[in-house]
Amino acid sequence: MSDTLDKVKEVIVDVLKVDVGNVTEETRFIEDLKADSMDQFFLIDGFCEKFDITISDEDARKIQTVNDAVTYIDAKLE
């Protein structure tokens, strides 16, 4: 498992208060974890803080799954 995935999961568990066992790469924030728009805002904010990156509003809208977040963050960190 990648370091990025582990850190993304940490943010998700912290923000959404879900069990880490419920979070896989295919997990969808809205459909599977019942995240609302505020939750999504806090997730994106958490990713930015954890990885010291900036995510535009336009890019944030494209991040729908855990894998989307990992792929996006890995690309930003390259």
Q: Which of 36, 39, 45, 52 is catalytic?
A: 36
Q: Would residue 36 show up in a list of annotated catalytic residues for this protein?
A: yes
Separation CA 38–CA 76 (nearest Å): 23
Phi/psi zone of residue 42: left (φ > 0), alpha (ψ -120 to 50 degrees), beta?
Answer: alpha
Sign of CA dihedral 38, 41, 45, 46: positive
Catalytic residues: 36
